Amino acid sequence: MLWNNILKHLPEDLKLFNFLLLLQTEFQKLRRKPVIWLMLLAAFVMPFFAAVYFRALGNLPVSPPLFYRWAAFGFTLFLLLPFILGLLCTILVHDERQSRILLQLWLVPISKKSYFLGKFFIVLLYSLCFMLLTAIATFGFGISSGCISFQWNSFFFLLEKSMELAVLAAFAILPILAVSGLQKGYLFPVSLNLLYLFLGFFLTPVNPYLHPLSAASVLLAGNGEIPGFPVQEFSVFPAVLCICLWDTLALLVAARSLKKG
């Protein structure tokens, strides 16, 4: 109660300073978890297999958007990146939950909202780094294998869509970050993450506005900019509304989880 009263009277710039210190602490903790950095190697998986696949088919070069769909946008959006981000969410919360560090954090001037926002900011930055590596690997494998020809406008299209995918995936995985603190073990959040991913994958052909990942595919595909994306029609409002509703529910779950400590 005392800290809450103090925080109410703190200047806004000091509150921002405390949040930046929280982010610095989060980055320092990541340095002690090498598995998080090793997971970035998964960014090279789909570009490599896409190059092998199109080389085996022959008839090169192919359309750059078609190659990008296989190498950077297809399974990366629905399975690979969300699974990696889900693991990251579990790792970020698990150790603190296991050792009950959360109870100690509330003794310092850090609000629960800032704590959760700090975790999400780390997930967002990690997603951006992952997709930046994916874009570089996609373009590199595509050029070196002869699958696509070198074009600057094509590369900037890939980079733009990759960053867009990174932001959408981070917001789409917010429910997993919220439920990661409900249990102390790894099994529950990882199993729920897998169920969440497959649910989004199978709901996309049925109705892409029922799940954040399928809604993200609608926003990413735009007006047919990426060929072969499983989106029947393009409508921004229901896709954004779907993601917002799921994320609002996730924030409520996170508030309950953090209240338990």
Q: Which of 111-115, 129-133, 211-215 comes out lowest in average pLDDT?
A: 111-115
Check residue 212 and give its pLDDT: 94
How far is the CA of 160 from the CAs of 68, 189, 193, in angstroms? Answer: 12, 31, 27
Say how far apart CA 126 and CA 89 lie, in whole Å: 11
Query: Given a cut of 70, is residue 148 above it in pLDDT?
Result: yes
What pLDDT sits at residue 259? 66
Burial per residue of 67-99, b for 16 or more beta-carbon CB atoms within 10 angstroms, e otherwise:
bbbbbbbbbbbbbbbbbbbbbbbbbbbbebbee
Distance CA 139, CA 151 (A): 10
Average pLDDT score over residue span 123-127: 94
**Residue 32 burial by CB count (10 A; 0-12/13-18/19+): exposed, middle or buried?**
exposed
Confidence at residue 8, expressed as pLDDT on a 0 to 100 scale = 47
What residue ranges do the domains of the chain occupy? 2-260
What is the per-residue burial (b if ≥16 Cβ within 10 Å, else e) of 237-246? eebeebbeeb
pLDDT digits (tens, 9 = 90+) for 193-239: 999 999 998 888 888 899 999 899 888 887 667 766 655 567 889 99
DSSP 197-223: HHHHHHHTTT-TTSSHHHHHHHHHHTT
CA distance 160 to 72: 12
Q: How far apart are CA 160 and CA 144, in angstroms?
A: 21
Residue pointed to by tokens 């090498």: 34
Question: What amino acid is encoded at 70 in this protein?
Answer: W
CB atoms closer than 10 angstroms to residue 103: 10
Quote the pLDDT of residue 108: 53
Contact 209, 45 (CB under 8 A): no
Mean pLDDT lowest for which of 103-112, 181-190, 201-210?
Answer: 103-112
Q: What is the pTM of this model?
A: 0.86
pLDDT in tens, 47-96: 999 999 999 988 889 989 889 999 999 889 888 999 999 999 888 877 66
Residue 232: its pLDDT value, please?
57
Closest residue by Cα to residue 162 from 129, 117, 195 = 129
